Structure 1
């Protein structure tokens, strides 16, 4: 009787055997197939590495196609070993399992084997028992690893090189220069014919003030011809593309200039995935010097073209707008014009000594440095003005050659004409201070004159009790002498020169009050702040200090110079009130806060000049010549007044004789309290006769005779005045000569009874006197300017000796800084006078001479 195994045991054994056989089959397939497929994988890895490294993108089409063909042939050759591959059989799998698990007597194959011959019942039972015992050995079956035997075929492990290159190429392909697999199969004409993005722009030089010009903007695509300043930078950036683009500039003259890509502008290694996906960028930079065209190409294909007209940058021009000037305190003032197409960037004054220096001279100082203020944009005539105090320089008082220089943004230099000039120096009133300054100048201009300077110092200090008014000044000068004698280097000599300047200032300004010192310090501090661009808070602080020091100075000045102490002020004295100074300081502060600091600095300099004039006028009185000139000017004003009255009297006498004096003229007759008619200034009756009746011929002849005598006397006074002016150094005045001739003609006309002709001749004489007065004022101003005394003396009421408003332009005049607005009474009176003149002029019966006179009053001609 045969014993059958339980169904559970058979099912469990069958499941284990199936799993073990499946795993062993996979191991055997890998073991047999890996050596056969490895050549194909190596060929594929090399192909992918070449593609990802971008090798195919940089090769010509023929070379690239040939390389791809070689890879194809190698791939086909690598497929040949696969023909030897065959799948493992069931028997081979069972043997591999038994071998792997070290099973004896083939227990796995026994389960599927059968006994030979004709089995009987006993034999069958015995075989089943044998299978059962062999099955017991199959409790746990394992599988071994594949044995490809590749190491024996590749003992140098070259297969790992291909794998490493593949991994590196994969990482490189994500970079900006990485390639693609499609590059191996696409022709060059199919890859980025036009760069993905082209950006081009022109940046003009900064000093031109012009904005950049974007060539690839939509607004610029309509016009490919552009006008740019010379020296502009052109930039072309290409993002993506084939990296073979070229840029060239074809000049109009035929020259071609290649513009290379700037390697420093290429982007660095990407730091993020978004940057890794961004295409590569190349940037070209060049300058536009001449007219031409900018051409961008990719290989032989032209991608874009831009034409440029380059505007040349002309050299600047600088010239003097007048002679160099000086203020009372010696401040240098230069007026000039700078012309440049884009404006100059810097300007300076170049000083050189005009006098020949001794042979072998060793100067301690070079020329002074003076930078010039540039004209403001839009300034009239490109004019500018610069003032600087150079009185402390050792060249002060020397003959110099002055040349102005200007430089534009392109570095082009321009020079003006050279002017010979005496460099302003500080006026020292103290003789001892002047002597010290002269010694300082000798030593500074030539260090070899040190023995000479020591001798001069010894001469000055020989009798100190007679020379020095203060022991402090004597000790200071002796200290300077000791320092000069012990000086061994040029630096020590320069220290002595600086010390001598301080000694001279101490001698000259020893009596300078504390208030004056604080005022000078406050003015200089504000001047420096405006020049250096200080903040508004600092300007406010310095303005407060200036106002306080100005108030202290004016208070001290009033105490030291009380009104009427030295007698009444002369007619030419300039009255400067505290309100005028306050108004000027308000203007300086407003200009500084509004941004116009150049104007504020100029106004502050003018205020300093006014204060210097005030201090100078306090120390120095008017000269005798000035007094004589003022007297002559007063006489001239009196002559003009009398000529005006005489012309009016002549006109009335003529009208009275004609019997045509109307009601308007009669209304102007003002009899005196005694009932007699009023007499004119020249002793002639002002009305037509006594009691309003017309004058008789005899009375008219007597009146004309009186006018004739008065006119002759007035002409004699004018001739005498003219001779006195010429005797005081004034040039002959054509206006006075013409006035004298007109007066003579009027005198003859009055003698002949021709009153109407005399009126016209007297009018011409009056007009000539006015022109002569103007010419005389100009000569006086020129004389005063040459003497360094500033503008001509002015009356305290803001009028000249002829009682006319002053219209000078040299510096601010506090008395005319604001225009007086007429009040209502003045305007009403003016209207009444104009209406009366117009009414009289509208009378058609008025004679021609009267109409001419009235038209002159209304200034219709």
Structure 2
């Protein structure tokens, strides 16, 4: 054995030699293995190319199996050359290195050889010297490249065709028509089976206004959770499946609910057997989504699809009054309210209930009135709405009721508003006979046990027809109603009598105009319903034709009534005459808007037309005659009391100032400018010999002042007595004087007592409070009077000009009630300028240092008045 090298040169040589031997070993292995492995690689490449090109699924099963066997045999044959593979030995590697580097005398092998024969010191030294010299030749040692010899067998390079085919097939496999490696081992029948088509969608409730959601769309594949409204319908259809698919819905609580498939529809005119053979297998599922959860479609143990849902709950609606229920100008009930709901309410109505329940044995003919409410437009910004309905024909009209608003949304949630207690509006009847008929009708409708009493009242009315009836046709109508009532036994017959009594009362009150009015209201309601329900153009045109005919009939009857009664109201609107062409133009606009699709604007314009006709009807329906004249007389008396109270307060203030001036006469208050004040008073006196006060008025002696205060005391007491009589008169006419009259009477009594004690200052304060209380009472009486006349919120005479019932200062004339001091119009620039001049004159007068104290005090109080 040679000794192990110890020097650095020897270690470097050993490292280079080891690297060269390793590279040479790899080259020899590659050139020996590559020709043996290449046939197998070509067979595998061709098999993969056939698979990736998708040729196997297109071949019949026999050809596919034959080709698969051929590839298998070729693979086995390609493995046969591998039996000739052998590893290179160390000597072969060294000889390959020496041959590659053209080294003579085997310098590589020398490094590992040893001499033969007996070893001696000399022979070992000689061998080491030889190795050293041979090692010097290995300084630039390198490895040899592999030489496979394949080009000698494949001079045309056909092996490159297999490689190019392999790369092309690999790229083709990523396309839509590319095949898979496993296609060669799958039968053609299995390949021909089309995967099932899955269609899943969610349909929100129609009232939400949301579009359906297609779950299996490509755009929704990345959606993590689907948000849908509560109550949505989920539908899923599997086409071409195995027919064993199941659909489950698991909520967040872990409850799993199975959704059963629907029965497949049978084709028309086709036998069930034939249908199952030709039509693909279709399996449909349908269910409701009310809670959060996950929808899972399974076929056996495999999941075909999963869709998680977040259900948006449907909030219950809310409804509340906006303002108090009130009586419209035509006597109808007007309700303003607000409805809030996340998707819009489905229906709303007003619920009526009698405040005083009927007796236990009472048998009413009618229940509560029905009043559906108009709903705000879905999706609109405004949630406020208004509903007006004429309930004056109902038998509850004029009675105390409890009113509650109720609303229901499409999900079934119901909410109610606060309960209001009010008097149900009724139609005012000025004719005493018509009022008597209405009272009998109400008695009969509220309790059929009152039938004998109603018959007795009819007998009383018809006892002396020549004194009671101006028109004998009314007498015959009441006698006919009495006969019907006497013969009526069932509730339906009694209801017919009640309806007949209403017709009789309208005929007595209005004649033929009531029928035209009823037809007009029905036509307006029909058109409003048609616009609201989205009727077709033909239906809207038909409703407009009926409205025009009803309007023409109503206006014709109204004109005839105006000719017969010169005092009847004229057709005016907003201070100008309302002509037939104006109404026709408005109806044309309503029809055009409804047909063009702007139904909201059409409804608004129809509402304005109804308001115009309501104002016109209200002016006709105002109660007149003796009662109206008495009301106006009482209101005129109230205005006279207020005027006299104002004059009495002014006189009391003047006498109080005189009384203070007489006490202070001759007294001087000296200060820093006392002499100047006294001198100023002397200069302002008119002259010697004239007995006047500092303001230039004649002076009164203490005796005259006492007599004047006594007269004011008597006048104040008389005024209080007249106020008490006025209150009693108003109460006798059905009015209800408010607490303002009571406060005014008390203040008048206090003022009378103060005048008796000679305290004018206290008396002025009580008189001012009495005047303010009278104004409040007058304002309340005007509202009650307008309510009785069916004229809330409008002018008293409906068709007159807005300013025809006011004086040049904008105050109500005496014929329209007393001036309460609060209805003066806003002053224009001229009025403001005039008021500024008066204030400047007062301030200039106050700036005069020579003015007396009495005058300065009076002017200061003028500036403090508001």
Normalised-by-shorter TM-score class: 0.5 to 0.7
Residue 535 of structure 1, aligned match among 530, 540, 551: 540
* 1:292 paired to 2:324: no
Report if the CA contact (8 A) 2:262-2:283 is conserved.
yes
Q: What's the secondary structure of 1:210's corresponding residue?
A: coil
2:523 to 520, 525, 528: 525
Give the conservation status (yes or no) of the 8 Å contact 2:327–2:792.
no
* Alpha-carbon distance change, 193 to 779 in structure 1, aligned in 2, over 3 angstroms: farther
Matches within 5 A, 1:370-769: 370-377=371-378, 382-509=383-510, 512=511, 518=516, 521-533=519-531, 535-536=540-541, 538-539=543-544, 542-543=547-548, 546=551, 549-550=554-555, 553-554=558-559, 556-557=561-562, 560-561=565-566, 579-582=576-579, 585=583, 589=587, 590-591=589-590, 593=593, 595-597=601-603, 600-601=606-607, 603-605=609-611, 607-616=613-622, 619=625, 622-624=628-630, 626=632, 629=635, 729=737, 731=739
Paired residues of 1:637 and 1:801 also in contact (CA < 8 A): no
Once the two structures are TM-superposed, the CA of residue 211 in structure 1 deviates from its matched residue by 1.7
2:309 is aligned to 308
Matched residue count: 614
Residue aligned with 1:294, SS:
strand
Deviations 1:348-375 (A, max 9, x none): 2233344343444433333332222112
Q: Distance in 2 between matches of 1:772 and 1:586?
A: 49
Report the Cα distance in structure 2 between the residues aligned to 1:632 and 1:802, rounded to whole angstroms. 22
User: Counterparts of 1:88-487 in structure 2 under 5 Å?
Assistant: 195-264=195-264, 279-327=280-328, 330-377=331-378, 382-487=383-488
SS state of the match for residue 398, structure 2?
Answer: coil
Distance 1:610 1:445 in 2: 32
Structure 2 residue matching 1:443: 3-state secondary structure: helix
Which residue, 783, 787, 803 being the options, matches 1:797? 803
Q: Distance in 1 between matches of 2:718 and 2:376?
A: 50
Q: Distance in 2 between matches of 1:505 and 1:609?
A: 19
CA contact (8 A) 1:636 1:802 kept: no
Pair 1:622–1:396, CA change in 2 (3 A): closer
Counterpart Cα distance in 2 of 1:359 and 1:772: 45
CA contact (8 A) 2:267 2:275 kept: no
Separation (CA, whole Å) in 2 of partners of 1:468 and 1:602: 39
d(CA) in 2 for partners of 1:274, 1:499: 66
Cα drift, residue 191 of structure 1: 6.8
CA contact (8 A) 1:523 1:608 kept: no
Q: Per the alignment, do residues 640 and 436 of structure 1 end up closer, same or farther by CA in structure 2, a change over 3 Å counting?
A: closer
| TM-score, scaled to structure 1 | 0.53
Shift of 1:730: 5.6
3-state SS of paired residue (2:473): helix
Tell me: CA distance 1:252–1:312, structure 2 relative to 1, closer, same or farther (3 Å). Answer: same
The secondary structure found in structure 2 opposite 1:283 is strand
Q: CA 1:618–1:297 in structure 2 vs 1: closer, same or farther (change >3 Å)?
A: same
Task: Tell me the distance in 1 between the aligned counterparts of 2:584 and 2:638.
Answer: 39
Q: 1:416 to 1:301 in 2, by over 3 A?
A: same
SS of the residue corresponding to residue 257 of structure 1 reads strand
CA–CA distance in structure 2, aligned partners of residues 372 and 608 of structure 1: 19
1:492, CA displacement in angstroms? 2.8
The separation in 1 between residues aligned to 2:831 and 2:449, in whole angstroms, is: 77
Gap change, CA 1:460 and 1:633, over 3 Å in 2: closer
User: Which residue of structure 2 lines up, in the alignment, with residue 39 of structure 1?
Assistant: none
Alpha-carbon separation, structure 2, partners of 1:413 and 1:801: 53
Comparing 795-804 with 415-424, greater Cα deviation is found at 795-804
Sort the Cα spacing of 1:243 and 1:506 in 2 relative to 1 into closer, same or farther, 3 A: same
The answer to whether the Cα contact below 8 Å between 2:430 and 2:624 also exists between their aligned partners in 1 is no
Query: Given the superposition, is the C-alpha separation of residues 333 and 188 from structure 1 closer, same or farther in structure 2, using an over 3 Å criterion?
Result: farther
Distance 1:472 1:777, change over 3 A: closer
After TM superposition, give the deviation of residue 204 of structure 1 in Å. 1.0
Q: CA deviation at 1:252?
A: 1.2
Q: Secondary structure at the match of 1:264?
A: coil
2:717 and 2:186 map into 1 onto residues whose CA distance is 111
Taking the aligned partners of 1:199 and 1:615, their CA distance within structure 2 comes to: 66
| 1:196 and 1:241 in contact (8 A); partners too | yes
Q: Distance in 2 between matches of 1:413 and 1:639?
A: 57
The secondary structure found in structure 1 opposite 2:578 is helix
What does residue 126 of structure 2 align with? none
Partner of 1:112: none
Q: Tell me by how many angstroms 1:517 deviates.
A: 5.5
User: d(CA) in 2 for partners of 1:316 and 1:295?
Assistant: 34
Unpaired runs of 5+ residues, structure 1, are 1-67, 69-181, 564-568, 644-688, 690-697, 706-716, 741-767, 807-819, 838-855, 857-861
Q: CA-to-partner distance for each residue in 1:98-139, whole Å, 9 max, x for gaps? A: xxxxxxxxxxxxxxxxxxxxxxxxxxxxxxxxxxxxxxxxxx
Residue deviations 1:609-628, cap 9 Å, x none? 44223442554674555456
Counterpart CA distance in 1 for 2:359 and 2:741 is 47
Q: What's the CA shift for 1:231? A: 0.4
Cα distance change of structure 1 residues 306 and 265 upon mapping to structure 2, 3 Å threshold: farther
1:486 deviation in Å?
2.9
* 1:356/1:431 CA distance change after superposition, 3 Å: same
Deviations 1:166-196 (A, max 9, x none): xxxxxxxxxxxxxxxx99x959997799945
Contact 1:530-1:597 within 8 A present in 2 as well: yes
